[in-house]
């Protein structure tokens, strides 16, 4: 008798980022594109998906106040700590190598407004990968 077991590694279901709450302190590339408060474009990979993913990991690791707390071959979770008040924000990313995309989310754990910090953080990561010619 052969036992068939489905594992996460061989499923074709796209991985999902956590949803943004109804507060202005979260951005996600998997939010509805009409939700201007929360939506941010995914990173469109222009070359090797794995090179872009490695560059994202290095960019996060090289940031003084960001640390990756969990990582798989195609997902990661990181924490970003603010300089003055030491608030912690969560960063999640999912590599969609078939779609040539990196979906990304950044959200504050506490408070209501973030004064645009989460959006700015993702755009800074985007700029780093664009400068390396790994994403559009």
CB 94 within 8 A of CB 52: no
Domain extents in the chain? 19-131
- The helix-helix angle for 117-131 and 49-61 (nearest 10°) equals 130
Q: What is the pTM of this model?
A: 0.86
pLDDT in tens, 15-42: 999 999 889 999 999 999 999 999 999 9
Around Cβ 113, how many Cβ atoms within 10 Å?
Answer: 10
Fold type of domain 19-131:
TATA-Binding Protein (3.30.310)
Q: Tell me the H-state helices in 6-101.
A: 49-61
Strand partners, 68: 78
CA distances from 111 to 22, 25, 116 (A): 12, 8, 13
Q: Tell me the pLDDT tens digit for each residue of 58-112.
A: 999 999 999 999 999 999 999 999 878 888 999 999 999 999 999 999 999 988 8
């Amino acid at each position: 008798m052969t036992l068939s077991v489905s594992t996460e590694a061989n499923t074709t279901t796209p991985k999902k980022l956590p949803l943004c709450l109804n507060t202005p302190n979260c951005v996600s590339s998997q939010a509805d594109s009409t939700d201007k408060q929360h939506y941010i474009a995914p990173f469109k990979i222009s070359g090797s998906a794995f090179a872009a993913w490695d560059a994202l990991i290095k960019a996060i690791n090289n940031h003084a106040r960001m640390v990756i707390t969990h990582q798989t071959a195609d997902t990661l979770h990181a924490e970003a700590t603010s300089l003055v008040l030491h608030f912690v924000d969560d960063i999640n990313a999912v590599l969609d190598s078939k779609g040539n995309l990196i979906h990304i989310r950044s959200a504050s754990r506490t408070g209501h407004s973030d004064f645009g910090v989460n959006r700015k953080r993702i755009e800074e990561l985007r700029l780093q990968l664009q400068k390396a010619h790994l994403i559009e």
